[in-house]
Amino acid sequence: MTRLGICSVTLRRLDPDRVIAAVAGAGLECVEWGGDVHVPPGDEDTARRVRDATVAAGLAVASYGSYYRAGRSDPEEFDAVLRSAVALGAPRIRIWAGATGTRQTPPEGRRAVVEHTRRAAALAADAGVELAYEFHRNTLTDGADHTLRLLDEVDRAEVATYWQPPVDMPDAEALKGLDALGDRIAAVHAFSWWPGTTRLPLTARAPLWRSAFERLHTHRAAVSGGPPQDVLLEFVPEDDERLLPREAATLRALADV
C-alpha cells in the first residue's frame, strides 16, 4: 500500500546516475524526478535516459516533480512538462497551486488557478497521467481546508494533493490536516524541520511520522485498488548524501507501524 522513495531534489548536486546509485544503495524503491535540474521540461531525450537508468537499477519512477504553477505559469508551459513526464514514464505530475496564499489571492487569480489546472488535468488524463498539488505555504494549498476547497472547485478525479508537515505546525495540528485530506493524498514528502526550516534527522520527529504512517495506512486500506501511496524523502540534514542510508532506514522503521 505504501512505497518508500526519494525526491531527486534531495540530491540536487548529484547527476542522475549518482542519484540512482544512492537511492538503490539506500534500499528505497522509487524516485520523484525533479524538473529543475535532473529532468528539465521539454527535454524528452534526458527523460527517456533517466527512465531507462531508473528501471535498470530496479527502481520505479514515482512521479515528475514539476515547477509548473497553475494560474501563474503560461498554461502552454504545461505541454512541455507533460511531454517530459510521459517520456520519463511518470504516472503523476506534481504541480503548484499558484504563487500566493489563499488569503492573498484575489478572485481572478483563484479562477486562473482552477482553469489552468483543469486544462492541465484534461491533457494529462489523455496521456494516462494524474496530477497532484504540492501542499505548500504561499499557494492555494496552504492548509488542509484550503486544499479541499480547491480540489472541489477543480472537480477533476485525476487531481489530488501531496501532504507534508507545515512549517512550525505542532504535530497534533499537522496530523489533523492529514486526516482531513484523507484519501485525496496521492503522495507525501517526508522530512523533519523544527524550528522553521532547520533540517533535522527524521528521528527528531519520529512521533509525528509514526502517527502519520498509521493514518496513511488506515486511509489507504479504505481504498480498494489504485496505485501505491508514495512517501518520499525530500530533505536530509545539510543535503548530505552520505546520510541517506541512515534516513532511509529510519523511514522504513517508521513505516513499519
Report the amino acid identity of residue 69. Answer: R
Strand runs labelled E in the chain = 2-7, 30-34, 60-70, 92-97, 130-133, 159-163, 185-190, 192-193, 199-200, 229-233
Residue 57's Cβ-count burial label (10 Å; 0-12, 13-18, 19+) is middle
pLDDT tens digits in sequence order for the chain, 257 residues long: 799 999 999 999 999 999 999 999 999 999 999 999 999 999 999 999 999 999 999 999 999 999 999 999 999 999 999 999 999 999 999 999 999 999 999 999 999 999 999 999 999 999 999 999 999 999 999 999 999 999 999 999 999 999 999 999 999 999 999 999 999 999 999 999 999 999 999 999 999 999 999 999 998 777 766 678 999 999 999 989 999 999 999 999 999 95
C-alpha closest to that of 35 among 82, 97, 1? 82
* Residue 228: predicted pLDDT: 80
* Residue 90: predicted pLDDT: 98
What is this structure's pTM? 0.97
Q: Could you give all domains of the chain from N- to C-terminal order, each with its CATH number?
A: 2-255 (3.20.20.150)
Beta bridge partners of 131: 93, 159
Query: CA-to-CA distance for 134 and 16, rounded, in angstroms?
Result: 23
* Residue 220: predicted pLDDT: 79
Show the cell assigned to 193. Answer: 524541520
Residues 6 or more apart whose CB falls under 8 angstroms from that of 232 comprise 4, 5, 6, 7, 30, 32, 62, 187, 188, 189, 190
* Residue 147: predicted pLDDT: 98
Query: Phi, psi at residue 139, to the nearest 5°?
Result: -140, 180
Query: CA-to-CA distance for 240 and 13, rounded, in angstroms?
Result: 10
